[in-house]
Amino acid sequence: MVCFRLSPVPGSGLVLLCLVLGAVSSYALELNVTDSEKAVCLYAKWQMNFTIHYETTNKTYKTVTISDFSTASYNGSVCGDDQNNPKIVVQFGSGFSWTVNFTKEESTYSIDGISFSYNTSDKVTFPDAKDKGILTVRDAVGFRIPLNDMFRCNSLSTLEDSGVVQYYWDVHVQAFVQNGTVSTKEFLCEKDKTSTTVVPITPTTTPSPTTAPTPKEKPEVGSYSVNNSNGTCLLATMGLQLNVTHNKVVSIININPNTTDFTGSCQPRSALLSLNSSNIKYLDFVFAVKNENRFYLKEVNVSVYLLNGSVFSIANNNLSYWDAPLGSSYMCNKEQTVSVSGAFQINTFDLRVQPFNVMEGKYSTAQECSLDDDTILIPIIVGAGLSGLIIVIVIAYLIGRRKSYAGYQTL
Query: What is d(CA 56, CA 265) in angstroms, rounded to the nearest whole number?
Result: 11
CB atoms under 10 Å from CB of 187, counted, come to 19
| DSSP single-letter state for residue 71 | T
Q: What is the pLDDT of residues 338-358, one digit of tens each?
A: 999 999 999 999 999 999 999
Mode of pairing for the β-strands spanning 261-266 and 270-276: antiparallel
* pLDDT confidence of residue 405: 55
The answer to whether the beta carbons of residues 92 and 83 sit under 8 Å apart is no
Give pLDDT < 70 ranges for the chain. Answer: 1-28, 194-216, 371-382, 401-411
Name which of 160, 224, 156 is nearest 190 in CA terms: 156
* pLDDT confidence of residue 325: 96
* pLDDT confidence of residue 47: 85
Helix (H, G, I), strand (E, B) or coil at 320: coil
Q: What is the Cα gyration radius of the chain? A: 28
For residue 337, the one-letter residue type is: T
Instruction: Say which residues have a Cβ less than 8 Å from residue 158's Cβ, sequence separation at least 6.
Output: 165, 166, 167, 168, 303, 313
Query: What is d(CA 162, CA 120) in angstroms, rounded to the nearest whole number?
Result: 14
pTM for this one?
0.50
For the chain, report the end-to-end CA distance as a whole number of angstroms.
Answer: 93
Name the average pLDDT for the chain.
Answer: 82
Dihedral sign, CA of 118, 119, 124, 125?
Answer: positive
Helices (H) and strands (E) in the chain, counts: 2, 27
* pLDDT confidence of residue 24: 30
Q: What is the pLDDT of residues 196-210, one digit of tens each?
A: 333 333 333 333 444
| DSSP single-letter state for residue 368 | E
CB atoms under 10 Å from CB of 132, counted, come to 12
- What are the residues facing 173 on neighbouring strands? 44, 151
CB atoms under 10 Å from CB of 370, counted, come to 9
Helix (H, G, I), strand (E, B) or coil at 85: coil
Q: In the chain, list all ranges with CATH 2.40.160.110.
A: 29-192, 221-372
29-192: CATH architecture: Beta Barrel (2.40)
Name which of 115, 63, 110 is nearest 272 in CA terms: 63
* pLDDT confidence of residue 167: 85
Burial classification of residue 402, based on how many CB atoms lie within 10 Å of its CB (0-12 exposed, 13-18 middle, 19 or more buried) = exposed
* pLDDT confidence of residue 281: 86
The answer to whether the beta carbons of residues 114 and 99 sit under 8 Å apart is yes
Q: What kind of fold does domain 221-372 have according to CATH? A: Porin (2.40.160)
Burial classification of residue 398, based on how many CB atoms lie within 10 Å of its CB (0-12 exposed, 13-18 middle, 19 or more buried) = exposed
* pLDDT confidence of residue 201: 32
Chain length of the chain: 411
